[in-house]
């Protein structure tokens, strides 16, 4: 448009136009700068750990707002990708305020836009482009007074950990992170750091992080007197804590070479930690898959059968009373009207009590019990009135709403959902201090025996156990009920593919309808690599939700997954296939792999890592699925020689086994044009406890 105008005009006028345009832009800038000063708020944004964020994880973002002139009141809005967060903020004159957000990044190009909206409607904006590293980057979180001495970790060879690039990030020494933010850190390195000076809550946070299944390395060299204090005091040997491990590195970490440290990491890596390195935190996968629980969450909102029966019986009563009153005759002229009025009032009273004038909620979820229990839930809320609802789920560390662009309040962890229809909110939470592990004994004759317990104080329905490739139906278990188990393994799940496997589980456990979706969600979307068996059961529990500021308790159907440790009866242990679950790596694109099958197509390669349970010295390993047969080629990594070797159908045993296991998890590589079942392994060995 402006071009056309300029072309029409003469040269002189053209120059004038330009001058005018320049002047207008200058004036615009002046005016813009002026409003920013008048608003008197300065916004600074910092993101990530040491300036680096991880894709697909919850990252800390700190927004500092400062009132330059007089005090200000308003709302701080933060936009990252498609997600909006808002926090009410009040600033005294000249005050600075740092507001922490926990933000997931789902795209590598995402930008953060912050805006302070004053009460007068004025706005101050600021933008920030975070450095977002790929999901498979291996973060070495460093707690150190001299972090530069640890930068050599950037050159660590990570081919045994999924091959993502290593990145050293300096952690804030106060550890102002939440547990789910710390989940982005794959390994924490403590070197030249006064661990004992950590605040109690922060030390507990580190412990919980380890207990989840992570690996902490502490230098036991020159700075051992600093490092090995507080929660690390007296650490001489690698110490198991929960599902994770704390490892002292002799000679200190700063003095190590990348190779020697890689060996330490590979030797002690836990399946959880390995899965986090290879597959990332899976936050997005879980949030996307949470829709599977929608049916079960909706089912929990559904009126109970007993409630319907009550209403039926009241209707029958009404019919009888109305009929009697209507046919009563002349003496009771007004009886019919009175009965109608009475029942109207009665139903009205009942509905006030029963809560039809309140919002309705229900939920479903999967809880993986362990030293730190993880709960992934979907809550379904039907607000009573008004357009939209502010929904806050108690003890949720991450909440996201499905559907129309929700807004989240970062501080109170509320999610705002517009509209009056049902809202579905996915949330996840961690609860430290979980139930004790169930222990069963595996005899040499394939008989599993021992005592299982329902650790919950309430009933669990449709219980079943999965021990390796055997599913054992248990049925209903009362609260804290103990059951003696003696079951000869019949390997009824052996060789089952994705769908077949779930179907066998459904039938064995007698699970119907929506509960099946919870099982589906657990197996496909929740990473649970702890070696051992599982006891799975469904329970109804009461949960709390806050809708528009009013508390409301609701029913939630939760699938509880308890770990089962399998011990040897007489010192020699025989683990059936699938007790040690492999961590599967199908490459950065995660193509072709599912939970039990792989179909990578030509050129695809599947790498599998089998982490031996602690305390087990394997003597014999048999790989199922006849490796080397047909079109598959399976190779195993010889850690001693540093090369891949073709693997036939033979059993690895005795001395032959040593080079594959000596310095890290057993690694297999599968190349296949066709669809294959992921190979599983049966282990025989000696147990050292």
Q: Which residues bind other proteins (CB under 8 A)?
A: 294-295, 298-303, 305, 307-308, 311-312, 314-316, 318-319, 322-323, 326-330, 333-334, 336-337, 340, 343-344, 346-348, 350-351, 354-357, 360, 362, 380, 382, 384-385, 422, 513-514
642's torsion region: left (phi>0), alpha (psi -120 to 50) or beta?
A: left
Using a 10 angstrom Cβ sphere, with 0-12 exposed, 13-18 middle and 19 or more buried, the burial of residue 358 is: middle
Minimum CB distance to other proteins, residue 296 (Å)? 8
Pick 288 or 322: Cβ nearer other proteins: 322
SS3 250: strand
Using a 10 angstrom Cβ sphere, with 0-12 exposed, 13-18 middle and 19 or more buried, the burial of residue 655 is: exposed
Pick 233 or 356: Cβ nearer other proteins: 356
Minimum CB distance to other proteins, residue 543 (Å)? 16
Do 679 and 608 form a contact (C-beta atoms < 8 A)?
Answer: yes
Pick 250 or 335: Cβ nearer other proteins: 335
Minimum CB distance to other proteins, residue 388 (Å)? 15
Minimum CB distance to other proteins, residue 475 (Å)? 23
Helices (H) and strands (E) in the chain, counts: 14, 40
Cα 612 vs. chain centroid, distance in angstroms? Answer: 24
Alpha-carbon distance of 170 to 189, in angstroms, equals: 10
- Nearest of 48, 259, 276, 265 to residue 155 by alpha carbon: 259
Those residues whose C-beta lies under 8 Å from the C-beta of residue 287, and which sit 6 or more positions away, are: 400, 426
Using a 10 angstrom Cβ sphere, with 0-12 exposed, 13-18 middle and 19 or more buried, the burial of residue 533 is: buried
Minimum CB distance to other proteins, residue 575 (Å)? 39
Alpha-carbon distance of 327 to 305, in angstroms, equals: 33
Alpha-carbon distance of 494 to 572, in angstroms, equals: 23
Pick 112 or 547: Cβ nearer other proteins: 547
Using a 10 angstrom Cβ sphere, with 0-12 exposed, 13-18 middle and 19 or more buried, the burial of residue 119 is: exposed
Pick 331 or 643: Cβ nearer other proteins: 331
Cα 59 vs. chain centroid, distance in angstroms? Answer: 13
Pick 158 or 557: Cβ nearer other proteins: 557
Pick 95 or 328: Cβ nearer other proteins: 328
Q: At what angle do helices 498-509 and 514-525 cross, to 10 degrees?
A: 140
Query: HSE on the CB side for 501, CA within 13 Å?
Result: 22
Minimum CB distance to other proteins, residue 40 (Å)? 45
Minimum CB distance to other proteins, residue 314 (Å)? 7
∠ CA 281-282-285 to the nearest 5 degrees? Answer: 165
Pick 311 or 447: Cβ nearer other proteins: 311
Pick 98 or 315: Cβ nearer other proteins: 315
Pick 333 or 436: Cβ nearer other proteins: 333
């Amino acid at each position: 448009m402006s071009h056309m105008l300029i072309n029409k005009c003469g040269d002189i006028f053209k120059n004038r136009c330009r001058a005018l345009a320049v002047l207008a832009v200058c004036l615009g800038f002046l005016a813009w700068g002026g409003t920013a000063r008048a608003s008197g708020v300065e916004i600074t944004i910092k993101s990530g750990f040491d300036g680096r964020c991880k894709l697909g994880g919850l990252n800390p973002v700190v927004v500092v707002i400062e009132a330059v002139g007089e005090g200000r009141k308003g709302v701080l809005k933060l936009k990252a990708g498609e997600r909006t967060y808002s926090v009410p903020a009040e600033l005294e004159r000249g005050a600075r305020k740092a507001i922490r957000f926990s933000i997931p990044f789902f795209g590598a190009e995402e930008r953060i836009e912050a805006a302070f909206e004053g009460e007068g409607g004025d706005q101050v904006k600021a933008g920030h482009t975070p450095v977002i590293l790929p999901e498979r980057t291996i973060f070495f979180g460093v707690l150190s007074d001299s972090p530069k001495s640890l930068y050599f970790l950037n050159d660590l060879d990570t081919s045994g950990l999924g091959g993502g690039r290593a990145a050293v990030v300096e952690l804030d020494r106060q550890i102002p992170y939440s547990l789910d933010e710390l989940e982005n850190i794959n390994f924490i390195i403590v070197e030249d750091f006064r661990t004992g000076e950590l605040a109690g809550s922060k030390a507990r946070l580190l412990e919980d992080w380890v207990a989840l299944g992570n690996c902490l390395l502490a230098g036991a060299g020159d700075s051992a007197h600093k490092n090995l204090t507080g929660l690390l005091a007296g650490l001489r040997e690698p110490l198991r804590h929960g599902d994770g491990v704390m490892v002292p590195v002799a000679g200190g970490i700063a003095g190590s070479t990348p190779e020697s440290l890689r060996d330490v990491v590979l030797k002690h890596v836990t399946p959880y930690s390995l899965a986090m390195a290879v597959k990332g935190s899976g936050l997005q996968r879980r949030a996307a898959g949470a829709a599977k629980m929608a049916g079960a969450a909706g089912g929990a909102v559904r009126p109970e059968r007993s409630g319907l029966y009550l209403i039926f019986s009241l209707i029958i009563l009404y019919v009888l009373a109305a009929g009697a009153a209507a046919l009563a005759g002349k003496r009771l002229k007004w009886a019919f009207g009175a009965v109608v009025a009475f029942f109207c009032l009665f139903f009205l009273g009942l509905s006030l009590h029963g809560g039809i004038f309140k919002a309705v909620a229900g939920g479903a979820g999967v809880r993986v019990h362990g030293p730190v229990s993880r709960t992934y839930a979907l809550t379904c809320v039907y607000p009573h009135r008004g357009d939209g609802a502010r929904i806050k789920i108690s003890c949720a560390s991450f909440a996201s709403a499905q559907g129309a662009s929700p807004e989240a309040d970062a501080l109170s962890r509320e999610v705002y959902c517009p509209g009056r229809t049902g809202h579905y909110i996915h949330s996840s939470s961690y609860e430290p201090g979980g139930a004790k592990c169930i222990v069963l004994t595996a005899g040499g004759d394939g008989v599993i025996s021992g005592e299982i317990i329902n650790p919950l104080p309430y009933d669990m329905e449709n219980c079943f156990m999965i021990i390796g490739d055997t599913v054992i139906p248990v049925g209903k278990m009362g609260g804290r009920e103990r059951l003696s188990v003696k079951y000869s393994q019949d390997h009824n799940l052996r060789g089952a593919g994705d769908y077949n496997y779930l179907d066998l589980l459904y039938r064995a456990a007698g699970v119907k309808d929506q509960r099946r979706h919870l099982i589906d969600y657990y197996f496909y979307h929740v990473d649970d690599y702890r070696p051992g068996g599982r006891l799975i059961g469904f329970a109804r529990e009461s949960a709390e939700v806050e809708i528009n500021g009013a508390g409301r308790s609701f029913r939630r159907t939760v699938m509880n997954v308890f770990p089962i440790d399998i011990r040897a009866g007489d010192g020699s242990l025989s683990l059936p296939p699938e007790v040690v679950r492999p961590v599967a790596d199908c490459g950065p694109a995660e193509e072709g792999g599912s939970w039990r099958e792989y179909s990578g197509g030509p050129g695809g390669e599947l790498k599998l890592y089998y982490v031996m349970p602690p305390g087990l010295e394997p003597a014999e390993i048999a790989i199922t699925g006849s490796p080397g047969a047909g079109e598959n080629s399976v190779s195993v990594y010889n850690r001693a020689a540093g090369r891949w070797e073709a693997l036939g159908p033979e059993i690895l045993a005795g001395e032959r086994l040593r080079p594959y296991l000596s310095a890290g998890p057993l690694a297999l590589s599968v190349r296949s044009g066709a669809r294959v079942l992921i190979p599983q392994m049966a282990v025989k060995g000696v147990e050292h406890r």
